[in-house]
Structure formats: structure tokens, C-alpha cells
């Protein structure tokens, strides 16, 4: 296809969507708000259009403007890039006037994007989930005698923020904060061990492609965990899910699996899946056009950017995927410095709702 329009209200996940879209569209336009203006630095952004509306609460005039832009620029596909824009297309996609990337139904999205509601979905479907409670304030948490059942450490997090924002690990009762700047507060049992992530492209409740990986401070590597796929399939079939969906999971040293949260949208490391041969944007567009799904990706392991840079003078020590990743970075030099800074920050972020 010729031209895509990416709806963007930030630069992080949105940049990965832009790069993946550039592999299957000749031109990628970005309709952006807030810090999404940073995307105009990318050589893969054909044109940046400033959006003065609110993707989270679009007014009729905002939808009219998006529809007008799709007509004027002859847009072949409108792509979401985060929770807000995914929900916008789930609710208002029929008013856009152009084909849209597959997205879940509105009620499905709302049930899975909220961490408290997702924990309830897991309980209803008998999927493994940590003990989870919801409180309006820290006073409510302290006044609940049942909160002692969590033990320490425990996790506090907001219900609907992404990227690990607002997530805190509490190691003792004395460390409980007096208040938090969000409400409600989700309190969750801490699961020691490793963080896993699994993402799926789905059509009417069928898994068409999947990519699972383990990420540490030093590397990201693809993994296969059949029990996670089995659990995910049950949820996907239950909702007859459409589009991209992912799960953050903890696995204890004893092998206990726990689903921490759900991401019914694109995700930060989707560009790494593309390097393994699974471009979720391309595959989703093919589904939209009624074409077949994906073949199996290549097994992939990539060390962190800091460690890769330490081997630039000894390239023979890099595997094929790492060389491809470096080429991916070098192809967009204007964004490389910013992306490297974000990666450095990412080493210390809260991942999957729990500390590494």
C-alpha cells in the first residue's frame, strides 16, 4: 500500500509503529499531538501534521478533521500507536472514512486495558494472576486489615497508565507512602523471578502470529513458553479478540506463571519482533486485506545497546540479529541519539508492573 497515517500522542511506542509501518508503506504520515512532534526528526516520517484535538476525548470536529485528512492525502490505512489512539479507533473507526488497522471492540479494550478489570477477567477465566486489590486512597489501603495478606514486597500501581509510570515496589510497611498522585490504587502481590512478555496478532479470536521474549538489563531474547500461549489463547478466544494484544508475565524460580497486566495495543519492542521476521503492522494490514498470516520467526537474541556499542570494533562477535539491529539504528541517525537516551532510561524503568 502507498500511504499510512499514524495517530500519535507521544514519541516512544509511536516511533516503533512508524518504523514498522515504513516497511510496508511507501509513505508514512503522522498526525501527532504533544511530544509526538519529535517524530518529525525521523527520515521515515514523510510528513508530520500537528493535531490540536484530544485523542483520549475526541470531539466531533476532531473526527471530521481526521476524516478530511484521510481524504485529502489519500490514506490507505490509519494506524493506532498507543492505548488512547487504539481506543479512538475502536469507538470511532467507522467515522474515519479510511480503512483502519484491526483493533478490538470497545468493551473488550476497556476490560483489558484497565489493570483492575484485567485481574477480574483472569479470575473469571481461571488464568493465573497475583492476588490483587483496588483502593481509592492510601488511607483505604492502610485501613484494610486484609492488605497484610500481600506480604512484602508488594506492588502499587495505577489502573490505566502505561510504560511503568506510577508503579512502585514497597519493601516494608514503613515504606508505604502517605499518598499517591493517582487514584484508584492497584495493590498487587509481588512475584519474584523473571519478566516475560508475549504478544499476539489475532483475527476473530484466532492467533495468527505470536512473539514472546525475556528481557533483562543486558539482553532481549526470544523464548517459547507453551503454557503461556495456552492461557493467552483461552482469553483471546473468549473475547473473539481482533488486533494486537500482549501480556506482561512473571515466572518465579519454581516455575509459577502469573499474568501481571494486559496491553491490547502495539508495544515498545515491536521493532525487535520485526527484525526477527514478524512485522505486526504488515501482518495486521494483510489480515485487513484478507491475506494469510505469518510464518515462524527466526530465533532472536539481542544484547542491550550499551553492550552492542562495546563490540563495534569487533563486529565478528555480533550475531546476525544484532547486526540487523545496528543497521536499523543507523538508518535513522536523527533519532538515534534520542532513542539511545530513552534506552538508558529504560534500563531503570519498572517493567511489567514489577521491578526486575
Q: For position 62, what pLDDT does the model report?
A: 96
Q: For position 347, what pLDDT does the model report?
A: 42
Give me the architecture of the 3-101 domain, per CATH.
Answer: 3-Layer(aba) Sandwich (3.40)
Give me the architecture of the 194-346 domain, per CATH.
Answer: 2-Layer Sandwich (3.30)
Going from N- to C-terminal start, the domains of the chain cover: 3-101, 131-189, 194-346
The DSSP string of 238-301 is HHT--EEEEEEEEE-TT--EEEEEEE-S--TTHHHHHHTT--HHHHHHHHHTT----PPPPP-E
Residues 61-109 pLDDT 10s: 999 999 999 999 999 999 999 999 999 999 999 999 999 999 999 999 9
Q: For position 146, what pLDDT does the model report?
A: 80
| Contact call for residues 141 and 147 (beta carbons, < 8 A) | yes
The grid coordinates listed for 181 are 498522585
CATH number for 131-189: choose from 3.30.70.2740, 3.40.50.2020, 3.30.1490.20, 3.10.20.30: 3.30.1490.20
Q: For position 353, what pLDDT does the model report?
A: 38
| Contact call for residues 28 and 18 (beta carbons, < 8 A) | yes
Cell 563486529: give the residue: 315
| Contact call for residues 92 and 70 (beta carbons, < 8 A) | no
CA–chain centroid gap for 32, Å, is 18
**Residues of the chain where predicted confidence (pLDDT) is lower than 50:** 344-356
Q: pTM for the whole thing?
A: 0.87
Amino acid at each position: 500500500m502507498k500511504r499510512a497515517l499514524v495517530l500519535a500522542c507521544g514519541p516512544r511506542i509511536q516511533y516503533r509503529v512508524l518504523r514498522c509501518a515504513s516497511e510496508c508503506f511507501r509513505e508514512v504520515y503522522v498526525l501527532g499531538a504533544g511530544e509526538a512532534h519529535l517524530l518529525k526528526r525521523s527520515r521515515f516520517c514523510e510528513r508530520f501534521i500537528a493535531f490540536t484535538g484530544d485523542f483520549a476525548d475526541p470531539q466531533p470536529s476532531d473526527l471530521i478533521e481526521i476524516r478530511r485528512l484521510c481524504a485529502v492525502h489519500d490514506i490507505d490505512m490509519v494506524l493506532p500507536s498507543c492505548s488512547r489512539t487504539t481506543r479512538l479507533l475502536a469507538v470511532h473507526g467507522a467515522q474515519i472514512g479510511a480503512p483502519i488497522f484491526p483493533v478490538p471492540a470497545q468493551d473488550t479494550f476497556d476490560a483489558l486495558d484497565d489493570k483492575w478489570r484485567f485481574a477480574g477477567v483472569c479470575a473469571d477465566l481461571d488464568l493465573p494472576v497475583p492476588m490483587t486489590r483496588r483502593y481509592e486512597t492510601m488511607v483505604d489501603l492502610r485501613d484494610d486489615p486484609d492488605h497484610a495478606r500481600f506480604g512484602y514486597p508488594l506492588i502499587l500501581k495505577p489502573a490505566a497508565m502505561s510504560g511503568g509510570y506510577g508503579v512502585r515496589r514497597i519493601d516494608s510497611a514503613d515504606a508505604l507512602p502517605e499518598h499517591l498522585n493517582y487514584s484508584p490504587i492497584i495493590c498487587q502481590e509481588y512475584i519474584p523471578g523473571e519478566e516475560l512478555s508475549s504478544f499476539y496478532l489475532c483475527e476473530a479470536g484466532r492467533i495468527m502470529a505470536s512473539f514472546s521474549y525475556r528481557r533483562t538489563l543486558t539482553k532481549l531474547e526470544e523464548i517459547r513458553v507453551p503454557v503461556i500461549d495456552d492461557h493467552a489463547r483461552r482469553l483471546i478466544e473468549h473475547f473473539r479478540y481482533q488486533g494486537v494484544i500482549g501480556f506482561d508475565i512473571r515466572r518465579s524460580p519454581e516455575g509459577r506463571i502469573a499474568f501481571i497486566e494486559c496491553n491490547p495495543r502495539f508495544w515498545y519492542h515491536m521493532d525487535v519482533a520485526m527484525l526477527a521476521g514478524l512485522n505486526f503492522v504488515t501482518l495486521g494490514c494483510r489480515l485487513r486485506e484478507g491475506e494469510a498470516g505469518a510464518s515462524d520467526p527466526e530465533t532472536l537474541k539481542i544484547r542491550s545497546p550499551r553492550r552492542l556499542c562495546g563490540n563495534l570494533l569487533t563486529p565478528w562477535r555480533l550475531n546476525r540479529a544484532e547486526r540487523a539491529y545496528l543497521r536499523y539504528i543507523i538508518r535513522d541517525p536523527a533519532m538515534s541519539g534520542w532513542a539511545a537516551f530513552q534506552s538508558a532510561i529504560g534500563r531503570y524503568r519498572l517493567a511489567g508492573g514489577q521491578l526486575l
